[in-house]
Copies of this chain bind each other. A is one copy, B any other.
Amino acid sequence: MGTTDISTLREAFRRAPFVAEMGLELESLGSGECVTFLDIEPRHLQQNGFVHAGVQATMADHSAGAAAFTLVREGCYVVTAELKLSLLRAAQGERLICRSSVLKPGKQISFVESEVYCVSSGEERLVAKASATMVVVGQERR
């Protein structure tokens, strides 16, 4: 967790209007790890009835950022440089769970992966996987 305070992180997480409105919830945070979830509602869907790729991309990105943030020095934060999302299966069910973990932390950039699972009839299936490059930004640097 480095020098970052968890409660600060939780607050930051909830202060992002787009994910707050979407209904993204923080489940847990650890050193280089973040788990989030989202209860699927009709408003999250694509015209075909499956969860929109944009919902999954948002979860994958936001959770990855939080995971990376747990490992940066105090006063620094992270911004996404790029995110790649592979959509493995159509997502249909009750809930999405996103598990993000830092593959390689760094002073300048961190590499993070996010796995998005869809819970349907109580069963979890991997529906998407993302890899992201996060830039570590500090007060003194910009």
Contact = CB atoms under 8 A, between A and B. Distances in A.
Given A81-B109, A131-B84, A43 B61 contact: no
B18 A43 contact: yes
Nearest to A86: B82
| Copies of this chain, count | 4
Interface string A87-121: 11110000000000001100111010100000000
A76 to B, nearest CB: 12
A105 to B, nearest CB: 10
Q: Is the interface of A mostly helix, strand, loop or mixed?
A: mixed
A58 B52 contact: yes
Interface in A118-142: 126, 129, 131, 133, 135, 137, 141
Contact of A85 (B57, B88, B135, B141): B57
A10 to B, nearest CB: 12
Interface in A3-61: 12, 15-19, 21-22, 42-47, 52-55, 57-59, 61
